[in-house]
Chain A
Amino acid sequence: MDKPHVIVIGAGFTGVAVAYDLAKRGMDVTVLERGPIANGTSGRTHGLLHSGARYAVDDQESAIECIDENTILRKIAAQVIEPNGGLFVGIDDSDMNYRDKFIEGCQECHIPLEEYKPEIALRLEPELTKKIRTAILVPDGTFDPLRLALAFAASAKFHGAKFRLFCEVTGFLFDGLGNVTGVKFSDRTKGKMEELSADIVVSATGSWCGEVAEMAGDPNIPIRPTPGVMVTYDQRLCQRVINRLNEPGDGDIIVPQRQMITVGTTSFEADNLDYIPVTEQQVNLMYHRGCELIPSIANTRERGAFMASRPLVDSGLKGRSLARTFKCFDHKVSQNIDGLVTITGGKATTLRLMAEKTVDLVCQKLSFPAACETIETPLISYRQYFSIPNEVN
């Protein structure tokens, strides 16, 4: 049997991980990305490698996905991860009331934890507020967003995948029955339109997957883009991730990376996803919430403020209550459009698993028997993305 050709739309975390899994299972892969690698939501994360603890009370399915994938990424993507753990810090009565639920939730989701008395926690993280009443250590971490995506993309290229950056999909090719047989796209570097056919197209377009599915004739993808703002400060004031021990909320996390820290996030809804401005009000909120955990943020220069749009799958709930799990849509099932699969939702931490489930579906649809092999093998160096030539399909 000839190798099937699969087009992946999007080179964010999901797209590069899908490309890697497809190529490793032996398929011909072309990735079309409208900008450079990880220019949308994926690049603009604070870089938290979730232990799952944040979701252990309210969204245990996501929590278990996170801890399992966290463990795998520490092995396969160690080149881009600060593996130093995270503290959930309790300061007030409300935090302390959350403590029991939190510990119970982590235990149910097999997330390992260790509780520290304030004086020990302050020895580990001297910049923490002196008001601290307890601190619980979990296996959070920090990753470099672009380099995590590049490591997957490099490994995909190593297995023969081809990347076409700055190529924006503008429409689909169809057979006479409305099934997808390829895509039309514009190469922004040349200002030229091209067409490319495929056995299956995978849309890994995150927050934008509703717009892409609509071009194929399916207006019903339940995606709720939910942007959040983050603010970066110019000094590494903690060595581990610092979380507020409470229900998920605005400004409940401080993520260290390199010689900086990032305070995040807010949660709201937006219409135009291509540009969402950061407001001063949100920056101030991050500052005040950050100072509650690490007061010396007040003496630290603001380095930058930025925004990213989470692709949350709509389950009829609002904002923070939306589940963080991912969903893979076969448009044959929902709208009788064959040849198109959409993968969206999820977390950066679960990118590998999202790819595995998506490629399982692709293999099933193409009757291409190949098993996922991305759990064990470390990714190749992210820098090799630039040295491996694009295979000519």
Chain B
Amino acid sequence: MVDLWHVTFEVFRQKDNQKSHFNFFELDINPDEYVLDGIERIWAFTDRTLVFSHACHHSTCGACGMLVNGVEKLTCITSIRDVTRDGGKIRIEPLRNFPIISDLSVDMSSLYSRMEAVGHQPILPIQEEDSKGKVKSEGDLLRLADCIECGLCISACPIALTTSNYIGPAVLAGAQQHGELTPCILELVNSENGAWRCHSAYECTEVCPSNVDPAWRIMELRRKIIANRFSSFFTRK
């Protein structure tokens, strides 16, 4: 038998735009389970009204992002052992910089529609480059993109905190991944709420759970926008 840990989950609650508060749930839990498992246990055994988002439980869907002790985490792959100790607590809050639907669940519609607008490709050739260089492989194989649209980078971004108009790291990284700067995409990213708004805090890359490295991609995107300005200057009629 595994030794269970006694852990207090401090869970952010808010229904229907009423005043928010925290509920405390005491769990005896295997520390190798994940934070999301703890939350699901609370729902399954203690409080059926708890609202939280999740789907794949293995970091491919991006639904279960939350603040764990104040830091953006994909809760399905964050083990309890890594964020607390026996007798300790775990504070769970919804992601920042998104409207709250209820309790721990946030509305990420803006992220999804902006990703659509910049043409981020959900599926792409395996060799596609990232900040570490090209992934090696032969032929015409395809893979699902790195970005899982979890919103962690937007929650962690100090600029997104100041204005919801900033299109945010995931979206700028999505534009870079798309490759081509079409006039529509250029208008979105080459604007005061686009690539130039970023202050290079690199918080996005710090919290990204899925190899996207948004900060690197935003810098790449800026280079691309400048190159585009030069070439359009010289081809102007």
Q: Please, which residues of chain B bring their CB within 8 A of the CB of A316?
A: none
Instruction: Give the number of chain B interface residues (Cβ < 8 Å).
Output: 54
Bound CA span A191–B37, Å: 23
Q: Which of B102, B109, B112, B141 contacts A166 (CB 8 A)?
A: B102
Q: Is A383 an interface residue (CB 8 A)?
A: yes
Q: Please, which residues of chain B bring their CB within 8 A of the CB of A307?
A: 57
B116 and A39 contacting across the interface, CB-CB below 8 Å: no
A146 and B63 contacting across the interface, CB-CB below 8 Å: yes
Bound CA span A46–B61, Å: 11
Interface positions, chain A 226-284, Cβ under 8 Å from B, are: 230, 232, 236, 239-240, 256-260, 262, 272, 274-275, 277-278, 280
Bound CA span A256–B112, Å: 24
Q: Which of B48, B57, B62, B126 contacts A188 (CB 8 A)?
A: B48
B61 and A82 contacting across the interface, CB-CB below 8 Å: no
Max chain A C-beta neighbours (<10 A), residue from B34, B49, B115, B146 = B49
- Digitize A337-360: 1 where CB-to-B-CB distance is under 8 Å, 0 elsewhere: 000000000000000000000000
The segment from B38-46, B65-73, B184-192 found at the interface with A is B38-46
- Digitize A90-130: 1 where CB-to-B-CB distance is under 8 Å, 0 elsewhere: 00000000000000000000000000000000001000000
Interface positions, chain A 207-231, Cβ under 8 Å from B, are: 230
A82 and B144 contacting across the interface, CB-CB below 8 Å: yes
The segment from A23-31, A73-81, A177-185, A286-294 found at the interface with B is A73-81
A383 and B123 contacting across the interface, CB-CB below 8 Å: no
Q: Please, which residues of chain A bring their CB within 8 A of the CB of B145?
A: 258
- Digitize B56-96: 1 where CB-to-A-CB distance is under 8 Å, 0 elsewhere: 11111111000000000000110000000000000000000
- Digitize A356-393: 1 where CB-to-B-CB distance is under 8 Å, 0 elsewhere: 00000000000000000000000001111111000000
Q: How many A-B residue pairs have CB under 8 A?
A: 160
A230 and B58 contacting across the interface, CB-CB below 8 Å: yes
Q: Which of A79, A146, A189, A384 contacts B123 (CB 8 A)?
A: A79
A39 and B54 contacting across the interface, CB-CB below 8 Å: yes
B15 and A190 contacting across the interface, CB-CB below 8 Å: yes
Smallest beta-carbon distance B158→chain A, Å: 25
Kindly report which residue of chain A lies nearest to residue B57, judged by CB atoms.
Answer: A306
A258 and B144 contacting across the interface, CB-CB below 8 Å: yes
Bound CA span A386–B108, Å: 8
Q: Which of B2, B30, B109 contacts A387 (CB 8 A)?
A: B109
Given A43-B56, A144-B61, A383-B113: A277 in contact with B108 (beta carbons within 8 A)? no
Q: Is A160 an interface residue (CB 8 A)?
A: no
Q: Please, which residues of chain A bring their CB within 8 A of the CB of B51?
A: 166, 188-189
Smallest beta-carbon distance A306→chain B, Å: 4
Q: Which of A189, A258, A304 contacts B143 (CB 8 A)?
A: A258
A259 and B211 contacting across the interface, CB-CB below 8 Å: yes
Q: Is A197 an interface residue (CB 8 A)?
A: no
Bound CA span A42–B55, Å: 8
Q: Which of B41, B113, B135, B144 contacts A386 (CB 8 A)?
A: B113
Nearest 7 pairs of A and B residues by beta carbon: A43-B55, A146-B61, A306-B57, A189-B102, A275-B44, A274-B44, A386-B109
Binding site for A on B (CB under 8 A): 2, 15-16, 30, 32-34, 37, 40-41, 43-45, 48-51, 53-63, 76-77, 101-102, 105, 108-109, 112-113, 115-116, 122-123, 126, 135, 137-138, 141-146, 148, 210-211
A-B contact pairs, 10 of them (CB 8 A): A36-B63, A82-B123, A144-B61, A166-B101, A191-B49, A232-B58, A239-B126, A240-B141, A303-B77, A306-B58
